[in-house]
Chain A
């Protein structure tokens, strides 16, 4: 079976041929895609690659093509959040992460599909139709960063950026059999990331192996004065991964392996835990008792923030504008036509949760639960180094299977959202297959301890073969 190409492979190939050649071959793959992960190709990608060739730079991502989720602002490249309401919007500025990638020599391949405004877990709410799962194109790629995951798993981009508000890089990574990291809140600047739920989300790297994810982290992480929630901390992610995990203490949250989890998924996760034991780690059972309230808390907070964040899309300054005899009619019609059902549902629920008379009952209570959930992680991680469990309760579901039943779709986020409430880092790595579909192992760490989870993920990856399996037809 043909190989996925990782960053070091790309760099060798560039030495043999050129960055231009590498970019062209990826664009060719995108044009012949079976999974439709991309929503736009960067018209200047080849030009940028040529420029890299002429510069002969050896910066870490020199000539490496990268796919960008469509909620990350890219100067001169349409950025729509997969929503009709941002039709025609071309940002006049680059997000902080894009500036860093470009400085490091990366070539922006294009923009990838997502659930509209990152609201979803399957990329089915994308206004242009879903990205498909390369392992089975009748199944979803996961979401909301489904386009980025599909692109990487299909070999159309060696690495990609996604964003994770409640599991949005980990879910599609798990469903598509790739690696994705949700960094500690405050590690990667959100400047230029179009907000869904500001207090929860982080931009995260996605790739075919742990090392690539760490390499991209080295480039995009770091303090940015334009994001007030960005932390001053210097880290070297790729360097930290190689140390072994001898003596590492792993906690297994009992709530993450509840009856609701597909038994085959449970089996893969247990196999992984035993593998870690073979590698010198120890494990014990821990409890995150407030997990059962996390999902409701998460959705109330996320929808409340979203209801405010999305107020700016009123047809006045950019994007879609409907006709109307006055401003209020124009703005209402623009929003009625521009937003999809799921977005409208979340705006309405969030508006309700913040309204006078309900604010304390919903929003404030959700914040209190958030504090409790955070306490759960603090306690569990005070006696262990990392926590492990399944990223998703099941394998990728069939297209259309859950989209008509929002609640069942929300439930698929049960193991990923507590991490965002707590702000801790988490990585998803392939840990086996169930029903021929990939299964993801989630490794969660303490605040700013990406090192431990990257190291655990890397050791596991280097001592297993799951990440070497490729979807059929991937070149």
Chain B
């Protein structure tokens, strides 16, 4: 069913992405690994803006930006240039930010997302490179601060500002776009979303063709969705009461979930852009084909491959590829067990349980997942028990076989094996002791005892693991 956008919502986003997977900053050799470091320890004359220091373009940042552009289906400019954006702020050490103006490195791209009514093409107007300012830290609370300290460790970090056309029609679509963008950036390995302040969003929004407002500096995807929901409501209420939406910049108060006015159009800065005389224009287009060759498989392509290679449903393929770590995890599991069953377990069960606990797939290991799925496939535990094993492991750790045993999740047939194992251990204390002393053959003896008791119905490898886990 077509989405008719009842309020005439138009949303455009400006996303500041910190290229934090680079080794060094945008214009100097300082390390980007400043998180968890003392303030002002990752600085030099260049990123501190000391008099006389000069910037040098980080070629890695240029190529990372081009890769992002190519992944967003952008055109690469023939000639790119840096400009100075002039404004005063304590965290801006030079009194200007080196940014790009009329020659952004890439432009005219598009990203397809899942819209309110099927696929939605979101046009990318441009993406340009710039440097991050430092960070202000208020001593005490902001209203009762004894002073403000500035940490320039962040100063000079490479940023890519990605600007969309106002093609998004709802806060949900905005959030989906951000999720998709983050996913693409992580596939490209230019960006780690887990680091503080790595992605910051400015959202432009208008309804019914009226003036737009810009909500600045939103730090999370959820925040963006909430800010936009609030802003639509605010603009609608304003119009209902006979008011007019004026063009202005607003601030999103994350704690209260509201936006407040920062400045009106008349108070807008005049940034007095002019070409940065300390840098020379760059010719970059000739690197395009080489960089295209180095682009990794991107989420959409990987999704299609999952469908064709593993025969998994589209829905699962989407869920699995929407996070590179999940997709990598899935492929490792799919190597060992039936890929279709694996898809259900990873996409539906594991992902859900992880999300519920705010954990990432890093918290689970591939072998455990394989074992659980294998037990289900072998019909030794039920689906429900499999879910319980995963939950228990996430909440209190442990290994799958033990949990199955402790919770008595084993199906009837397996409980025969389980009791046989218990019996074998009890009856052969000497052999157990020998094994503990390092005698490998004793284990073979013990496994043999179990095989005898179960008349060969048990899987020797599983038995072996069961014995080991119980005697240790």
Interface residues of A (CB under 8 A from B): 71-73, 79, 81, 86, 89, 91-93, 95, 190-195, 197-199, 225-229, 304-305, 307-308, 310-314, 316-318, 327-328, 331, 351, 354-356, 359, 363
Subset of 19 A-B contacts with CB under 8 Å: A72-B52, A73-B50, A92-B50, A93-B53, A192-B53, A198-B277, A228-B278, A228-B279, A308-B84, A311-B86, A311-B95, A312-B51, A312-B95, A354-B86, A354-B274, A356-B270, A356-B272, A359-B274, A363-B274
5 more contacts with CB within 8 A, not counting A81-B51, A228-B54, A308-B84, are A79-B52, A93-B45, A228-B279, A311-B86, A311-B96
Q: Say whether B412 faces chain A, with CB atoms less than 8 Å apart.
A: no
B52, A91: Cβ atoms under 8 Å? yes
CB-based nearest B residue for A331? B88
Chain B residues whose C-beta falls within 8 Å of the C-beta of A354 in the assembled complex = 86, 272-274
A225, B51: Cβ atoms under 8 Å? no
A314, B88: Cβ atoms under 8 Å? yes
A92, B86: Cβ atoms under 8 Å? no
Q: Cα distance A340–B392 when bound, in Å?
A: 72
Known: A317-B93, A351-B272, A363-B274. A228 touches B52 (CB 8 A): no
The 5 A-B residue pairs with the shortest CB-CB distance, nearest first, are: A311-B95, A354-B272, A198-B277, A199-B277, A194-B51
Q: Cα distance A63–B35 when bound, in Å?
A: 46
Chain A residues whose C-beta falls within 8 Å of the C-beta of B148 in the assembled complex = 327
B52, A192: Cβ atoms under 8 Å? yes
Dominant secondary structure of chain A at its interface with chain B: loop
- From A72, A195, A355, give the contact of B272 (CB < 8 A): A355
Q: Say whether B55 faces chain A, with CB atoms less than 8 Å apart.
A: yes
CB-based nearest A residue for B150? A316
Q: How large is the interface on B (under 10, 10 to 19, 20 to 34, 35 or more residues)?
A: 20 to 34
CB of A367 to closest CB in B, whole Å: 9
Q: Say whether B280 faces chain A, with CB atoms less than 8 Å apart.
A: yes
Q: Say whether B112 faces chain A, with CB atoms less than 8 Å apart.
A: no
B94, A229: Cβ atoms under 8 Å? no
Number of A-B contacts (CB under 8 A): 104
Q: Say whether B49 faces chain A, with CB atoms less than 8 Å apart.
A: yes
CB-based nearest A residue for B270? A356
Known: A229-B280, A308-B95, A314-B95. A355 touches B54 (CB 8 A): no
CB-based nearest A residue for B49? A312
A195, B52: Cβ atoms under 8 Å? yes
CB-based nearest B residue for A363? B274
Q: Cα distance A316–B96 when bound, in Å?
A: 14
CB-based nearest A residue for B57? A228
Chain B residues whose C-beta falls within 8 Å of the C-beta of A327 in the assembled complex = 90, 148
Chain B residues whose C-beta falls within 8 Å of the C-beta of A318 in the assembled complex = 50
Known: A92-B45, A312-B94. A193 touches B274 (CB 8 A): no
Chain A residues whose C-beta falls within 8 Å of the C-beta of B124 in the assembled complex = none
Cβ contacts B47-73/A at 8 Å (1 or 0 each): 011111111110000000000000000
Q: Cα distance A351–B269 when bound, in Å?
A: 13
Q: Cα distance A92–B88 when bound, in Å?
A: 24
Within 8 A of A (CB), among B217-254: none
Chain B residues whose C-beta falls within 8 Å of the C-beta of A313 in the assembled complex = 95
Q: Cα distance A192–B55 when bound, in Å?
A: 11
Known: A91-B51, A355-B270. A228 touches B280 (CB 8 A): yes
Q: Cα distance A91–B50 when bound, in Å?
A: 8
B54, A190: Cβ atoms under 8 Å? yes
Known: A229-B278, A355-B272, A363-B274. A191 touches B53 (CB 8 A): yes
